[in-house]
A and B are shown apart, each in its own frame.
Chain A
Amino acid sequence: MSEPRVYTRSPLKTSLSLGLFLALRQVRRSSVGTTALIIFVMMLTFLNLVVVRGVLVGLIQSSTNVFKEKYAGDILISSLPKKDYIEGSSEIISIVKNLPWLTTYSPRYAESGTVEGTYKERIDFTESANLSAGLVTGVDPELEEKTTGLSDAIIEGRYLTPEDTDSILIGANLLKKYLPIEAPGISLLENVEVGSRVRLKINGFVKEVTIVGVLKNKGEFDQRIVMLDSSLRTLIGRSDYNVDEIAIKIKPGVDPEIVKQALVTAGVGKNARVQTADEALPKFLKDIKDTFGLLGNVIGSIGLVVASITIFIVIYINAITRRKFIGIMKGIGIDSRAIEFSYILQSVFYAFMGVVVGLIILYGFLVPFIDAHPINFPFSDGILVAEVSNTLIRAGLLLFATIFAGYIPARLVVRQNTLDAILGR
């Protein structure tokens, strides 16, 4: 009888190699239906990890995008605190015009005011007037259109033309028709529509104007009254041409921070507040964004635990039903590490396939579909935020968790007494 051969490879490497051998065959020859079901569950788990957070963040991201694209641009210059307007606006606009990164800009006048409707029909003066308050914003229609595409927000009527000296656009949130809420302290215009004559009152100045359009893009202009800058200037007697805010759009790829620094260096900061769009975001939006991000991470973590438990159960059932064969393998001298590794590889395979299918569904269908058909929330059009880096981190976390979720049940079964496993006792 010849002597047994000696090892030609290290035991660990041999165990890993045999583990791979066993795992490949177990996966290849297992039931297609069962494999598909496990991969389906893993795919759902992965999507749960990414999509729930993505939708939560997407709700606010959408608001942020609207704020930037439909109101602030990339840079927003606004009046300093305790100042009514931007002093030296003409010089600042000249600096803005000469910025090498400039695409377009829109200077705006803004004053608090009210719009009163159906005032001619009002008989009983003990009843409150049919009015709504908002920020009256004077714009150059062409510059505003280039900067924010404001005409896209028109849901009724039409956009302003330079000849509309006695016309306004009104934000949908000032009309009861679009914001049907009854609450103390909130007054919304009723029985007013495109073509209605309304009374515009700003700081005691009154002008009768016609509503030519209604604005709604779930952004800042939903709460505003928009008119020609020249009309507003005349109405409030702003003869110094000092504006209240300037939205600036810069060339794609340029860091807004660089442009902001250039403006500050040029002295704009002395008379105005210069902010990137991110800095100008309302604090509540930033807070909600942080909160939703945290909430998304908590839900994602729960999803990760659920995924780990799912894999644990799948591998445990798989291992426990194959306990006898595991015992036989140990009985004929197969290293327990090889057997454990085969189960780890199987669980990683299921998770990996689930992730791959999930990625295809995520980027091939869900993201483009929700981009094209945003989820209609009252305060924003929800999109699905799934940055590739973030998604890959979550995929990595899932695969990492899977290694443990596959190892632990395999270890529990493999460590059982060999003879007991073989004899099924």
Chain B
Amino acid sequence: MIEVKNLTKSYTSGESILVVLKDLSFSVPEGQFLAITGRSGSGKSTLLYQLGLLDSPDAGEITVGGFHVASLDKDARTQFRLQKLGYVFQDYALIPELTALENVLIPLLMLGHSREQATKDAISAIEKLGLQDRINNLPSQLSGGQQQRVSIARAIAHNPQIIFADEPTANLDTETSNSVLNAFLDLHKQGQTIIMVTHEHEYAKMTDRIIVLSDGKIIEDTLQ
């Protein structure tokens, strides 16, 4: 499903160049729940941004479903993200003036769904996350855990091929984190491919596979 070959990414700061990802190669089969871990600055979030087409690598190839995504232009990347990918961000990243339902609706409307169909799909996604009684609440009226579940609902509503989650439990208490992770596990059981960046080892252990990064290199790749 995802093929990564010789992926390299560096950032320039003044005159110094910081190589964040160094010649990474790996693949992720369809339906796998992959955890990427590592210490701060190891490059795990940078890797997620490359895989999720939010950033472009300096060198190397990324293939998603047999499609070379590195060669896509800006608009095509946006289209690709919309159609094939779903995102869950660390800080929920909900649009503050939109209700839970409307936040989930917008990618569906962008896909060209009719309002009626989009609303049906959005409610269905929200119900999967157990928030059906909160659909008309604004993000400011929801708890952190509820906001993150709305964020997951937004990520899954359009049935993406892959869901990317960047430290989805980082800002949550243990109980809420568990409920969010359970939501991912439920999706995984339904065959959803998920790539999650986390620094919490106990959550990484619940996935199919753990890739550990250090200084931009894979130092461990464990199937569980």
Contacts and interface: CB of A to CB of B under 8 A. Distances in A.
* Dominant secondary structure of chain A at its interface with chain B: helix
Interface stretch (A21-29, A65-73, A296-304): A21-29
B114 A332 contact: no
B107 A332 contact: yes
A333 B54 contact: no
Interface stretch (A278-286, A309-317, A334-342): A334-342
A333 B159 contact: no
Contacts of B217: none
Given A328-B95, A333-B110, A4 B54 contact: no
A331 B87 CA distance: 8
A82 interface: no
Given A332-B81, A419-B49, A8 B114 contact: yes
A328 B78 contact: no
Given A4-B84, A333-B78, A338 B110 contact: yes
A26 B96 CA distance: 9
Contacts of A422: 54, 89, 93
B54 A331 contact: yes
Given A29-B138, A331-B54, A334-B82, A4 B96 contact: no
Contact of A419 (B55, B84, B114, B155): B55
B154 interface: yes
B214 interface: no
A329 B110 CA distance: 10
Contacts of A4: 83-84, 111, 158-161
Contacts of A29: 97, 138
Contacts of B114: 8
Interface string A315-327: 0000000001100
B160 to A, nearest CB: 7
B124 to A, nearest CB: 13
Contacts of A79: none
Contact of A329 (B49, B79, B95): B95
B83 A2 contact: no
B192 interface: yes
B191 interface: yes
A338 B75 CA distance: 13
Contacts of B93: 324-325, 328, 331, 422
Contacts of B55: 419
A276 interface: no
B135 interface: no
A334 B30 CA distance: 25
Contacts of A28: 97
B159 A18 contact: no
Given A1-B161, A4-B159, A334-B82, A17 B95 contact: no
Given A25-B102, A331-B81, A331-B87, A418 B54 contact: yes
Interface in A22-53: 22, 25-26, 28-30
B106 interface: yes
Given A4-B158, A14-B111, A25-B102, 9 more contacts: A1-B192, A5-B111, A5-B113, A11-B112, A15-B110, A329-B106, A332-B106, A332-B107, A419-B49
Interface of B: 30-31, 49, 54-55, 75, 78-87, 89, 93, 95-98, 102, 105-107, 109-114, 138, 154-155, 158-161, 191-193
7 contacts: A4-B159, A4-B161, A8-B112, A18-B110, A332-B87, A332-B107, A333-B85
